[in-house]
A and B are shown apart, each in its own frame.
Chain A
């Protein structure tokens, strides 16, 4: 037998930690929400806000200040210059909030300012992106829709799969679709709709006693909120790749939650009369603990490689994944499972009709 980090008879009382865990989660989420509120919502990249970016690679090491000085004379609306990627890459991102000017003009202005003010240092315009405000708004709507449908379909799948309650799941989907359609008719924007959809989903899961779905959905909302919050605190921008990362986090978080839930279900069917549901959950988490740690570790290893070595463009994407993998692992144990217990089939006998 190979190595064993977790001893087979490990029996940590995870459910006992639920208070501390809930407080910890609440603090991080509140910090994130607070940061979002202070900054007036998420900071959108050009994908969503529209505008133009020019990525420049400069041959020699340059202080960001020198680059900023060199660009001083350039008059573009909302001009921002920032470093990109890791130190030693000498890559800079030049942003303007306008997409009305032609890309040719921007390219020209940037080249001129850099070549006349940076002395003999060579540079290269590696990338130029322009997104119009209309496309930006559309992309934003689409991205939010994606998050919304992902959560909805997953909630339905879990309810059906784990509790064989496809009817209840179907009712939930219909009710949710109907309410969102109703609220949408009132003309609220997509961001509000998403929040409403999440609240309604959680509410419906709770009302219809779809406990597994409730635990899983609560955990993934938790993970997305924490990742978004940390991104806001760090002042990172949201663009399409971050949405991709968030959806991946949803997938990963669920993956993790479902493996624990699967074991809980299995143990619950076979449970001895005297065991409380809490004990069953604890035993299941302990049984899957080595797997949880192993998989998180290997995934973190590769995501960390991506973060350190993947280059500037992929950097924030990898950061989101890093946060998401850690939080996703944590939430399946400390968020999803206690919620399942809190509202769960507790003392009443579970009527399972195995397919």
Chain B
């Protein structure tokens, strides 16, 4: 009995901690003076309980790689030209290879040296062509590809985070998932469609020159002059819908959105919103030269492959400012400014999974979950007292303590409570009494064998404990696997189930024993036990 005091102290400490962490989750406590004294925060509610959006985005790594190789190829071409080596514009042929044609065979050594010095490429093969040209196949090492994939993911996550920050969502959760996936969780958002549009927009801004002399009829049949491409220009109709009409552009973009430092919405003289963009120094210089060289020509403003407007350049534009007009609504213009300011995504993203839950459904789920938990618990509590008498009462007390510890534990570990999580708690209520049932049945057996209450108690607890451990370890294994492989709500369920099993072992074996020992402490050796 010497150790009883220590066991009581241990139990009280654990229970007090559980209580302290649980309190903020009770209605009314969180904001109060009491709430401020307590550690931690209320239990996090999952999106299915408070409403919000869950998105899984897939980053199109092939496009990212393609763009990257194309840019490297262009850099190489430019570097070669500086050394007076003449090559044709390179072609990307796979996710690690480009093809580049050297015009003069006698420059081969010089070009190989340039490849080595100015690019991460290795020469994989070369092939002499007629008329003295040499076709090189260049390849980047696999580590380079991995590096690019990593950088692309990091940049995509950063860009998405920037966009969401501008959108003003409290507590967004953005994380990288295996493969090239990104998970985004936005709690409590009212307008899911708009958020999805902003997050998913690549916002790859390019300026391209319009080919006004191209033959549109031929172009529509797919016959295009070299270096030209067919695109669509968006025209906004009075009813807010867009119609598309064809336009022929020069393929090379003359300037891209990388050089943008700021973007904001402004109103023109007719109160039409437009997006004004500011370039950095380098972008400003390029833009000034470009406009000076192309006065009276049309320049297309291309966002994600679609032309928003194609104004005629009236004069040289210096000062590093430009504007995108496109008969936007105010909201559209604001969203466009957000994505331009936050930067373009390094590659297009696809929405692979989307789950949005309205806040009202969330509230209803909580209400129903709590209601069924309370009723289920009430029945179990009553049942235990009827069946086991005083011992049943002890089991009930520890069951309540158990629920308190689960909630406290969820809050302390910062876990998220989801609807299946509530189900996990409810299931735990049912199974939590199991440990006590096993012990009580064992004690009854020992009492029938004629042992005194104290001896039966010791024997019952001793023999039942191992059984309980064995039985629960397997459930914990199932729960851990569930956590490992599960996503979102399933994980929530696994967490509450595991926590529930651990706390129920503590309360049902350790705490209930203390209560029995206290009850029998000052009684005679032949005292009876109501069980």
Contacts and interface: CB of A to CB of B under 8 A. Distances in A.
B473 interface: yes
A262 interface: yes
- The 8 A-B pairs of least Cβ separation, nearest first, read A302-B376, A299-B430, A305-B376, A146-B485, A251-B475, A311-B368, A309-B372, A126-B361
A145 B474 CA distance: 17
A295 B361 contact: no
A102 B402 CA distance: 45
9 contacts: A8-B444, A103-B356, A126-B361, A132-B58, A247-B478, A255-B475, A295-B434, A314-B368, A321-B427
B294 interface: no
B489 A241 contact: yes
A107 B434 CA distance: 46
Interface stretch (B97-105, B148-156, B168-176, B384-392): B384-392
Nearest to B197: A104
A308 B361 contact: no
Contact of B479 (A130, A134, A251, A294): A251
A129 B54 CA distance: 9
From DSSP, what is the main secondary structure of chain A's interface residues? helix
Contacts of A126: 357-358, 360-361
Contact of A132 (B351, B356, B375, B376): B351
B474 A2 contact: no
Given A1-B444, A146-B481, A303-B430, A294 B387 contact: yes
Contacts of A146: 481-482, 484-486
B482 A255 contact: no
B361 to A, nearest CB: 4
Contacts of B489: 240-241
B206 interface: no
B372 A310 contact: yes
Interface in A127-143: 127-132, 134-135, 139, 142-143
A74 B54 CA distance: 26
B474 A255 contact: yes
A143 B444 CA distance: 42
B271 interface: no
Contact of A252 (B193, B357, B423, B431): B431
Contact of B423 (A8, A135, A291, A318): A318
Contacts of B472: 255
Interface in A152-204: 153-154, 157-158, 161
Interface residues of A, number: 75
B364 interface: yes
From DSSP, what is the main secondary structure of chain B's interface residues? helix
Given A135-B352, A258-B474, 17 more contacts: A4-B444, A104-B197, A124-B358, A128-B192, A132-B58, A142-B485, A149-B485, A244-B494, A251-B474, A259-B467, A297-B383, A302-B427, A303-B376, A303-B430, A309-B372, A310-B372, A311-B368
A127 B358 contact: yes
B437 interface: yes
A64 interface: no
Given A2-B392, A104-B193, A127-B356, A314 B433 contact: no
Given A127-B361, A150-B477, A244-B482, A254 B471 contact: yes
B358 to A, nearest CB: 5
B204 to A, nearest CB: 19
Interface of B: 48, 56, 58, 192-193, 196-197, 350-358, 360-361, 364-365, 368-369, 371-373, 375-377, 379-380, 383-384, 386-389, 391-392, 419-420, 423, 426-427, 429-431, 433-434, 437-438, 441, 444-445, 447-448, 463, 466-467, 470-475, 477-479, 481-482, 484-490, 493-494, 497, 530-531
Contacts of B448: 8
Given A259-B438, A295-B433, A302-B380, A130 B531 contact: no
Contacts of A107: 193
Interface string A13-57: 000000000000000000000000000000000000000000101
A296 to B, nearest CB: 9
A250 interface: yes
A314 B423 contact: yes
B386 A248 contact: no
Given A8-B448, A244-B493, A254-B471, A301 B431 contact: no
Contact of B474 (A1, A254, A263, A299): A254
Contacts of A259: 438, 467, 471
Contacts of B463: 266
B478 A145 contact: no
A118 interface: no
Most buried by A among B355, B360, B488: B355
